[in-house]
């Protein structure tokens, strides 16, 4: 019944989020029409003949220049972008297309948004999955060790190192690594930018894998260092809470070793809080955290696409990314609740 209610709330939640973002973004000043008018008003050459056709693209506006905006031209610009319709009519039209995953075309790139997303998704997925995997691997291993050695010298020293890593922004680490390892004043060990080398097509299959991972090493390292800190403390506290419970003493009294108790019993129960944090961590890495990393290392992924769309007010791309990531976030949170139930059948959400 709980899952049924969550499934009913999912489209309603998605609708509210899209509505709020649509109203805020569309009513904010400095939209694409304002940008085009400003460019045309600052230009030097007349282009009124270029707008005789009804199919006017943004590239034509950028390539042509005009000093005074003719009302007829302005009408055609608004119609081309769909701004001749009322605000809510535009929203319902967008929503109707989104139901069939028709995101339209970008204002500035003359490409289907679906094509843009598919082109850039492998970069973000690679960064997100590798970063999440290594973050969890380090956090769980270190969290268990810190819980077992709670209060020891190792625990105190590691606390200082973890907090220090957490305080370092990922983009600052990325810049530091580029200066240190990418041909600055020190070593030329890793590539400076891009996802693959220029001769990638000529490499053997195993060399392609090595080259791909070699380009991702520094971006992933920059993000992992700043991502695992909070998860380590989550893991440690979860294990400490379980270690103090009666079933641990009972298991030890029955003859199980401390290691067996940790990995057979405590690990399963303590894993719940880590599962709950997975959707938020993964989505943050995919979209927000990876944005600056993609810019710094010239990795053309979804984070960079969203950033450029926001700066240029490319509304179709912005709304498409909001829709996709909101939908993924809602589904991921629902799946995390199901994982709770699978790991511990005693949990009842109702």
Measured distance CA(232)–CA(209) in Å, rounded: 30
Within a domain: residue 9?
no
Q: Which long-range contacts (CB under 8 A, 24 or more apart) does 324-329 make?
A: 324/117, 325/283, 325/286, 325/287, 326/14, 326/17, 326/18, 327/14, 328/283, 329/279, 329/283
Q: Highest-confidence range of 37-51, 55-69, 323-337, by mean pLDDT?
A: 323-337
User: Residues 132, 257: one domain?
Assistant: yes
Tell me which of 44-48, 77-81, 236-240 is least confident. 44-48
DSSP 38-64: HHHHT-SS--GGGG-SS---HHHHHHS
Within a domain: residue 2?
no
Q: What is the pLDDT of residue 17?
A: 92
Within a domain: residue 319?
yes
Number of domains in the chain: 2
Q: What is the pLDDT of residue 19?
A: 92
Q: What is the pLDDT of residue 70?
A: 65
User: Residues 77, 121: one domain?
Assistant: no
Does the pTM surpass 0.85? The reply is: no
In the chain, % of residues over pLDDT 90: 4
DSSP 82-106: TTTS-HHHHHHHHHHHHHTT---B-
Q: Three-class SS of residue 245?
A: coil
Q: For the chain, what is the radius of gyration of the CA atoms?
A: 26
Structural domain of 58: 33-84
pLDDT tens digits, one per residue of 68-108: 566 777 777 777 777 777 888 889 989 998 988 888 888 88
Measured distance CA(270)–CA(262) in Å, rounded: 10
Which of 84, 100, 126 represents a domain boundary (last residue)?
84
Q: Phi and psi (nearest 5°) for 188?
A: -110, 80
Residue 20: pLDDT band (50, 70, 90) is: very high
What CATH number should be reported for the domain holding residue 153?
1.10.3720.10
Within a domain: residue 21?
no
Element (H, E) at 71: helix 71-81
User: Residues 78, 204: one domain?
Assistant: no
Sign of the alpha-carbon torsion through 159, 161, 162, 167: positive
Contact of 220 with 285, CB cutoff 8 Å: no
User: Residues 79, 174: one domain?
Assistant: no
Tell me which of 17-21, 127-131, 181-185 is least confident. 181-185
pLDDT tens digits, one per residue of 340-350: 676 666 666 66
Candidates 271, 185, 182; CA nearest to 222 is 182
What Å distances lie between residue 161 and 158, 201, 222, 226, 282, CA to CA? 5, 41, 15, 11, 23
User: Residues 312, 215: one domain?
Assistant: yes
User: Residues 171, 319: one domain?
Assistant: yes
Which of 44, 69, 84 represents a domain boundary (last residue)?
84
Measured distance CA(146)–CA(237) in Å, rounded: 9
């Amino acid at each position: 019944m709980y899952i049924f209610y969550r499934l009913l709330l999912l489209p309603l939640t998605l609708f509210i989020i899209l509505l709020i973002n649509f109203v805020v973004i569309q009513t904010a000043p400095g939209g694409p029409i304002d940008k085009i008018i400003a460019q045309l008003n600052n230009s030097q050459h007349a282009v009124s003949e270029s707008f005789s056709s009804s199919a006017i693209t943004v590239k034509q506006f950028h390539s042509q220049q005009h000093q005074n905006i003719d009302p007829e031209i302005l009408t055609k610009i608004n119609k081309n972008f769909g701004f001749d319709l009322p605000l809510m009519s535009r929203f319902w039209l967008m929503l109707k297309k989104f139901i069939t995953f028709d995101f339209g075309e970008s204002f500035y790139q003359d490409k289907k948004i679906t094509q843009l997303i598919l082109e850039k998704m492998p970069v973000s997925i690679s960064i997100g999955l590798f970063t999440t995997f290594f973050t969890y691997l380090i956090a769980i291993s270190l969290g268990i060790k810190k819980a077992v050695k709670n209060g020891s010298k190792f625990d105190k020293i590691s606390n200082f190192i973890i907090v220090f890593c957490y305080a370092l922004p990922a983009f600052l680490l990325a810049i530091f690594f580029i200066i240190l390892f990418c041909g600055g004043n020190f070593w030329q060990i890793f590539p400076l930018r891009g996802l693959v080398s220029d001769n990638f097509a000529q490499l053997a299959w195993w060399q392609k894998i090595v080259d791909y991972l070699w380009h991702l090493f520094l971006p992933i390292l920059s993000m992992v260092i700043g991502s695992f800190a909070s998860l380590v403390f989550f893991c440690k506290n979860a294990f400490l809470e379980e270690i103090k419970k009666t079933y641990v003493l009972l298991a030890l009294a029955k003859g199980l070793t401390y290691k067996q108790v940790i990995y057979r019993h405590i690990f399963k129960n303590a894993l719940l809080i880590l599962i709950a944090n997975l959707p938020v961590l993964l989505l943050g890495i995919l979209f927000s955290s990876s944005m600056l990393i993609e810019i710094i290392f010239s990795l053309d992924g979804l984070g960079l696409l969203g950033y450029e769309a926001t700066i240029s007010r490319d509304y179709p791309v912005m709304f498409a990314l909001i829709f996709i990531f909101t939908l993924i976030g809602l589904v991921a949170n629902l799946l995390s609740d199901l994982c709770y139930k699978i790991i511990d059948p005693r949990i009842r959400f109702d």
